[in-house]
A and B are shown apart, each in its own frame.
Chain A
């Protein structure tokens, strides 16, 4: 809840408590004295009537325009990170043509509510690992239609992969009508275990060219 500066006290100055300043003044304005003004009116009756009519029409039109039934202002759409959930399903099959030393996982991406969310990019944070996903980003997911994603990781350099990370995560770039943001999905202990198992297998099979640390 932080990241927000201190809130100044309201001092009881609620917007709806301020009295309408103009109302009493308007009623206390004295009526215009007759005499010269009345004469003026008599001389320019038509002009005055015409311009009054024009003003009334304009004001009425303006009022109608201002209070027209607006297309309901879209209720502030949720940020994509607040409606998307990524659940780890389990180790997955490799897509065809994957290089050796690679392995796959299956995830499910759920949009819980709100407008569709597009996944712009999926990465994982470790140097020494490359990630591809199927479907390939960008792809759209609508609420109510969970989407299964298969990600394939391949080890590029064994020396730079964490073999036993406790809370590995995926960085997913999400976009909806509200915002585009990068969010980390920490997939939990089962994913951590499966990932480190896979990494150990991948790197122990490796030749001496990229020694494991």
Chain B
């Protein structure tokens, strides 16, 4: 009977291993700048630097680094040298929380940029808020992070230390629904999500608006983001008769998904949010991705003169990885922290006060400057006041902007 108990133990270990995929290695932050004279202020960056989503995460890290370097070069805040410390969250909430604790424990950290994933942000918010350490996310789009769990009926800001420069899914999902229903004339949608905070939330806001407009949801499906086999789902999509698929999730799954849907014989476009708006989507999806849609926060980069400078500086700085979907927002998030530090330092005769973290968090509420992505300032929930969105379509292996909108509610 030893064998059988061995199998039982092994099975238990296997189950444990499945749930423990979360933990992992951590990347040492790259020091960004030479330590100048005076005080060094560390800005923590939390993003997935390895794994499937690292294309976006490394763009966040590099862009934050560029902001810090620029501030140091211009001596933007007298006597303060900024330094970036980047930690890897591997897109896992548990790692994100550990990183948040690490940042809080380091007395030099006066602000944090990140994370990429809304689910990771949920695990970090309280840690930062308890320490009154300001956090500015360039990429989280889940509405609950700023407006509370019941944001649809009653908006309550859960954490005073959390800000973001990205527009929320409360606008992004409906905007996609409007575009697909009215402009692309799609009436029957098959909605798929990955059950994560971001994906499920986005699919939810999309579905609601699409139905209100008179569209029909002919099927829903939740995929397991750990697998790469979506053939069963693709077959369901084909037999549902949908004329468009909406996917709430990220490009590592969306790329293979669009490929397998087209391969199954359903020649219909896949649409998604900013999570699939990455060149890697076309690498994974191949030619099957042509004609697919995505929405993303912000206006197309060529329409913003400030963004051109950013692109040029980023190139000149010689980073290995592209700035990706959130580069501009990451630069602005970091710069917002720099502005807040500047305000606090200047109000305190050029020195950091003892309760710098709390004061910086308070100062963040009134920060306002012209950033890469337009005017940067925050409303009473910590959301950005600059709410622009753009619909992109895959043409010739690239995301091409097809329509932009501004929310002025």
Closest to A162 in B: B213
Judge whether B117 is part of the interface by a CB distance below 8 angstroms: no
In the complex, what residues of A have CB within 8 A of residue B387's CB? 186
- Kindly supply a per-residue 1/0 record for chain A positions 155-190, scoring 1 wherever the CB is within 8 Å of any chain B CB and 0 otherwise: 000001011111111000000000001111111111
Residues of chain A touching chain B, judged by Cβ–Cβ distance below 8 Å, are: 1-12, 14, 76, 78-79, 81-82, 85-88, 125-127, 160, 162-169, 181-191, 213
Query: Given the complex of chains A and B, what is the CA–CA distance between A78 and B303 in angstroms?
Result: 7
Q: Are B408 and A88 in contact (CB under 8 A)?
A: yes
Least Cβ distance of A25 to chain B in Å? 28
Query: Which residues 365-409 in B have Cβ within 8 Å of A in the complex?
Result: 372-374, 387, 390, 392, 398-401, 403-409
Q: Are B178 and A125 in contact (CB under 8 A)?
A: yes
* CB interface residues, B 159-181, toward A, < 8 Å: 171, 174-175, 178
Q: Are A2 and B392 in contact (CB under 8 A)?
A: yes
Q: How far is the CB of B391 from chain A (nearest CB, A)?
A: 9
Is B16 in contact with chain A by the CB < 8 A criterion?
no
What are some 27 contacts across the A-B interface (CB < 8 A)? A1-B298, A1-B324, A1-B327, A1-B372, A2-B324, A3-B296, A3-B302, A5-B398, A6-B279, A7-B323, A9-B318, A9-B319, A10-B315, A12-B318, A82-B303, A125-B178, A125-B182, A162-B213, A163-B212, A165-B213, A169-B178, A182-B403, A183-B405, A185-B406, A186-B406, A187-B409, A188-B407
What 4 A-B pairs have minimum CB-CB distances, sorted nearest first? Answer: A188-B409, A184-B405, A125-B182, A6-B322
Q: Which of A3, A82, A164 contacts B392 (CB 8 A)?
A: A3
Given A165-B209, A169-B178, A190-B409, the answer on whether A10 and B318 have CB atoms closer than 8 Å is yes
- B-side interface size class: 35 or more
A13 to B39, CA, bound (A): 32
Least CB distance from B183 to A in Å reads 7
CA distance in complex: A191, B409 (Å) = 8
Q: Given A4, A78, A160, A188, which contacts B408 in the complex, CB threshold below 8 Å?
A: A188
Shortest beta-carbon distance, B19 to chain A, in Å? Answer: 34
Q: What is the predominant secondary structure among interface residues of chain B facing chain A?
A: mixed
Binds A, one of B46-54, B123-131, B140-148, B304-312: B304-312
Most-contacted residue by chain A among B213, B304, B372 (CB, 10 A): B213
Chain B residues within 8 Å of A11, by CB: 318
- A169–B322 alpha-carbon span in the complex (Å): 34
Quick check: A184 and B406 within 8 Å, CB to CB?
yes
List, in ascending order, chain B residues with CB within 8 A of A127's CB: 182
Docked pose: A183 CA to B403 CA in angstroms:
7
Contact, CB under 8 Å: A1 / B329: yes
Q: How far is the CB of B331 from chain A (nearest CB, A)?
A: 9
A51–B171 alpha-carbon span in the complex (Å): 72
Query: Which of A10, A76, A88, A188 counts the most B-chain CB atoms under 10 A from its CB?
Result: A10
B113 located at the interface, meaning its Cβ lies under 8 Å from any Cβ of chain A in the complex:
no
Mostly, the A contact residues are loop
Q: Is the CB of A166 within 8 A of B208?
A: yes
CA distance A85 to B324 in the complex (A): 28
The residue in chain A whose Cβ has the minimal distance to the Cβ of B297 is: A1
**CA A182 to CA B183, docked complex, whole Å:** 12
- Give the chain A neighbours of B209 by CB distance below 8 A: 165-167
- Give the complex CA separation of A6 and B397 in angstroms: 12
B76 within 8 A of partner (CB): no
> Bound complex: CA of A165 vs CA of B175, how far in Å?
11
Give A81 to B303 CA distance when docked, in angstroms. Answer: 8
Q: Closest CB-CB distance, A4 to chain B, in whole Å?
A: 5
Do A166 and B403 touch (CB < 8 A)?
A: no
- B window 274-290: CB within 8 A of A: 274, 277-279
Given contacts A3-B399, A184-B403, contact A82 B299 (CB under 8 A): yes
| Beta-carbon nearest neighbor of A87 in chain B | B408
B62: nearest chain-A partner, CB-CB: A7
Contact of A1 among B301, B319, B320, B406 (CB under 8 A): B301
Bound CA–CA A190/B76 (angstroms):
41
A186 to B401, CA, bound (A): 18
With A186-B175, A189-B409: A1-B214 Cβ-Cβ less than 8 Å? no
Q: What residues of A have a CB within 8 angstroms of the CB of B299 in the complex?
A: 79, 81-82
* Least CB distance, B143 to chain A, in whole angstroms: 13
- Establish whether residues A4 and B178, one from each chain, have CB atoms under 8 Å apart when the complex forms: no
Q: A86-B408, A87-B408 are in contact. Are A1 and B322 (CB under 8 A)?
A: no
A11-B318, A188-B407 known; A166-B212 Cβ under 8 A: yes
List residues of chain B with CB within 8 A of the CB of A184: 175, 178, 403-406
Which chain B residue shows the least CB distance to A168? B178
Across the interface, B328 reaches (CB within 8 A) one of A1, A76, A181, namely A1
Q: A6-B279, A183-B406 are in contact. List 11 more A-B contacts (CB 8 A).
A: A1-B307, A1-B328, A2-B274, A3-B300, A7-B311, A81-B303, A81-B406, A167-B175, A168-B178, A182-B403, A186-B405
- Complex Cα spacing A166 to B373, Å: 26
CA distance A14 to B315 in the complex (A): 10
Q: How far is the CB of A81 from chain B (nearest CB, A)?
A: 6
User: Given the complex, which residues of B lie within 8 Å of A188, measured CB to CB?
Assistant: 407-409
- Is B230 on the interface with A (CB-CB < 8 A)? no
A160 partner residues in chain B, CB cutoff 8 A: 214
How many Å lie between the Cα of A7 and that of B320 in the bound state?
Answer: 9
Check B323–A186 contact: CB distance below 8 A.
no
Contacts of B314 in A (CB 8 A): 7
B317 within 8 A of A: yes
User: Within 8 Å CB of A189, what residues of B?
Assistant: 409
